[in-house]
């Protein structure tokens, strides 16, 4: 996948990725460090409370993926090369997923510290990372969709941030409407399924939810790309 | 190599390309000529598969660009009007990426990069970041990416726009060179360029093809009427009147002692003109037959089109 490789490399060579990583590690590290006083347990709960940093990070990482192609005109090369639109989008997705995985791997020293200084429960930590990874996939897919809509990177970031936080807080909103309706709305919320992973539960529904939202937004991005031919 | 049939493209309700058909045969260099916003770029974008046509069909190397898009695209090298470059990559990595997405075999990529860098004279710049190159070199990188996968067909949209005159002539040389191995369709609104590079020209205006022929035929077809330019010493009015009486001359215009005479097709009244002038006691200082330039043809075609509407 030439496109995935190219995107991954261009992250490594751009200052943006390093700034974002630094920010991400600083924020998550801070929350992790103060967590013993908040949670009073040997866990990475403090780190996990920074889910919002992950959403921001994904928005910033993906904002340039297609918006910049439009701005530079290189979109003409991608759309006239003998590759399918779906390959373009998947390539972009895998490239950004690669860099996100690296960033998550860099946070692994939080649990390592716990093992050095205490005796944490490994199960929930493992499932938490699975949850973070899935949430990350979803956020990247939303970001790529937003980036496919515009040639302006800032607009792309704001749109994807908007969609992600709206999806997250659907869960909160669900509490304020009649229960039946609330349950339905809750099913669509990003935040509905995350706590399970933190508690160490792997529920198939959760995995299916995150993967299908990811697929949905990647599909929308592919449609948007194809649609630009018909303008 | 390229076959366009009844191609029509609307942008919303605006008609950009109006039912055009043409062919480009293997090995030809064809100029696609027209004023700005005539529909050149739109047509090229449809041929390359970047835009979908509203109606009509395009075949490239025998593959339909809509139904067998990937097969058709494999045969196309495309240089869009605004040279599309990833400004943060080096020339080498840029070419490497494009070779890969165009499906070039892994083991061939390195040699092909060396070859196109050689063809486009980019040797010294191969490890320079694309964003730091001057416009002329960016253009050459653009040409290099278009030929990296050895396509049969090259589509070049305004390949010499915005670069300095020396580089323009280098680029033209390069295109002629490429024309030996590739079928080329290039668009331009610069007339001399067409007569320098192309063998055949398609003139498009307001989305319609107004003329299509070899440059030679086009000149003689439209000119039909030949032009003669004279310089004569003597009373202007009388000279003009005398010239009008000569058979075969359809129009006489003058300014000071310069006269332009148009004659009907197949006529060469130069001998009669000379005789008439000498007999009347004026002096003929110079006389030359003028080939109608592409510019004249172009203006005539596009203005005729307007007067019809």
Q: Where are the domains of chain A?
A: 2-230
Write out pLDDT tens, residues B58-92.
999 999 999 999 999 999 999 998 899 998 899 99
Q: How confident is the model at residue A150 (pLDDT cuts 50, 70, 90)?
A: very high
Question: Chain B within 8 Å of A176 (Cβ-Cβ)?
Answer: no
Query: What strands lie across the sheet with B153-157, from one edge to the other?
Result: B76-79, B153-157, B183-188, B29-33, B200-205, B208-214
Query: Cβ separation of B103 and A3 shorter than 8 Å?
Result: no
Closest C-alpha among B103, B198, B214 to residue B160 = B198
The model's pLDDT over A67-110, given as tens digits with 9 standing for 90+, comes to 999 999 999 999 999 999 999 999 999 999 999 999 999 998 88
Check if the beta carbon of residue A44 is closer than 8 Å to that of residue A32.
Answer: yes
Q: Does domain B224-291 have CATH number 3.30.70.100?
A: yes
ipTM of the complex: 0.87
Residues of B in contact with A83 (CB under 8 A): 70, 101
pLDDT of residue B309: 38
- Residue B303 pLDDT level (bands cut at 50, 70, 90): low
Take residue A226 and report the two structure tokens written for it: 């194809």
What stretch(es) of chain B map to CATH 3.40.50.300?
2-220
pLDDT at res. B306: 45
Region B44-71: mean pLDDT is 93
B88 touches chain A (CB under 8 A): yes
Q: Which residues contact B171 (CB under 8 A, 6 or more apart)?
A: B136, B139, B140, B143, B159, B160, B163
Specify the domain boundaries for CATH 3.30.70.100 within chain B: 224-291
Comparing alpha-carbon positions, the chain A residue that sits nearest to B72 is: A82
Which of 3.40.50.300, 1.20.1250.20, 3.40.50.1000, 3.40.309.10 is the CATH number of B2-220? Answer: 3.40.50.300
Q: Given an 8 Å threshold on Cβ–Cβ distance, is A10 in contact with B86?
A: yes
Interface of A with B in 20-79 (CB under 8 A): 72-79
Query: Residue B291: what pLDDT?
Result: 66
Could A77 and B71 be called an inter-chain contact, meaning their C-beta atoms sit closer than 8 Å?
A: no
What is the least distance, in Å, from the CA of A11 to any CA of chain B? 11
Mean pLDDT of B259-276: 80
pLDDT > 90: what percent of chain B? 40
Instruction: Compute the nearest-CA separation of B170 from chain A (Å).
Output: 24
Question: Per residue in A119-141, pLDDT tens?
Answer: 888 888 889 999 999 999 999 99
Q: Render the burial of A105-114: b for 16+ CB within 10 Å, e for the rest.
A: eebeebbeeb
Give the mean model confidence (pLDDT) for residues A35-58.
80
| pTM reported for the whole predicted model | 0.83
Q: Which residues of chain A does B48 touch, with a Cβ-Cβ cutoff of 8 Å?
A: 76, 80
- What is the distance in angstroms between the Cα of A201 and the nearest Cα belonging to chain B? 41
Chain segment B138-154, per-residue pLDDT in tens: 988 999 999 999 999 99
């Amino acid at each position: 996948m030439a496109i995935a490789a190219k995107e991954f490399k261009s992250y490594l060579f751009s200052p943006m990725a390093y700034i974002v990583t630094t920010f991400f590690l600083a924020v998550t590290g801070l929350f992790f460090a103060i967590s013993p006083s908040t949670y009073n347990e040997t866990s990475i709960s403090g780190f996990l409370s920074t889910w919002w940093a992950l959403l921001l990070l994904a928005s910033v990482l993906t904002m340039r993926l297609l918006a910049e192609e439009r701005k530079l005109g290189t979109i003409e090369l991608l759309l006239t090369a003998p590759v399918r639109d779906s390959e373009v989008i998947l390539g972009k997705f895998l490239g950004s997923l690669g860099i996100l995985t690296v960033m998550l791997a860099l946070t692994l020293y939080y649990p390592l510290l716990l093992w050095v200084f205490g005796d944490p429960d490994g199960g929930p930590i493992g499932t938490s990372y699975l949850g973070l990874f899935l949430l990350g996939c979803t956020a990247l897919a939303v970001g790529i969709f937003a980036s496919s809509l515009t040639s302006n990177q800032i607009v792309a970031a704001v749109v994807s941030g908007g969609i992600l936080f709206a999806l997250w807080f659907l869960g909160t909103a669900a509490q304020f409407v009649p229960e039946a309706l609330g349950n339905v709305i809750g099913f669509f919320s990003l935040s509905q399924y995350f706590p399970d992973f933190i508690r160490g539960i792997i529920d198939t529904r959760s995995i299916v939810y995150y993967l299908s939202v990811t697929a949905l937004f990647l599909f929308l991005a592919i449609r948007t790309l194809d649609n630009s031919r018909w303008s | 190599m390229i076959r366009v049939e009844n191609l029509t493209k609307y942008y919303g309700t605006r008609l950009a390309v109006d039912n055009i058909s043409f062919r480009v045969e293997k090995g030809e260099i064809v100029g696609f000529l027209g004023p700005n916003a005539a529909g050149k770029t739109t047509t090229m974008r449809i041929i390359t598969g970047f835009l979908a046509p509203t109606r009509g069909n395009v075949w490239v190397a025998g593959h339909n660009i809509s139904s067998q898009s990937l097969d058709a695209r494999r045969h196309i090298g495309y240089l869009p009007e605004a040279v599309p470059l990833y400004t943060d990559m080096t020339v080498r990595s840029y070419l490497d990426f494009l070779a890969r997405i165009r499906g070039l075999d892994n083991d061939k990529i390195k040699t092909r990069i060396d070859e196109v860098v050689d063809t486009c004279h980019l040797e010294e710049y191969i490890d320079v970041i694309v964003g730091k190159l001057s416009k002329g070199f960016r253009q050459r990188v653009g040409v290099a990416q278009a030929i990296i996968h050895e396509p049969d067909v090259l589509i070049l949209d305004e390949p010499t726009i915005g670069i300095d005159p020396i580089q323009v002539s280098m680029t033209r040389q390069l295109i002629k060179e490429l024309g030996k191995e590739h079928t080329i369709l290039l668009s331009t609104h610069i007339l001399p360029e067409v007569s320098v590079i192309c063998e055949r020209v398609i003139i498009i205006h307001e989305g319609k093809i107004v003329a299509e022929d070899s440059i030679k035929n086009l000149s003689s077809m439209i000119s039909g009427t030949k032009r003669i330019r004279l310089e004569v010493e003597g009373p202007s009015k009388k000279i003009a009147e005398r010239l009008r009486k000569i058979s075969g001359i359809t129009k006489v215009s003058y300014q000071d002692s310069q006269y332009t005479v148009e004659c009907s097709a197949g006529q060469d009244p130069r001998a009669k003109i000379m005789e008439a002038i000498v007999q009347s006691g004026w002096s003929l200082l110079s006389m030359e037959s003028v080939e109608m330039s592409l510019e004249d043809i172009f203006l005539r075609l596009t203005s005729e089109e307007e007067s019809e509407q």
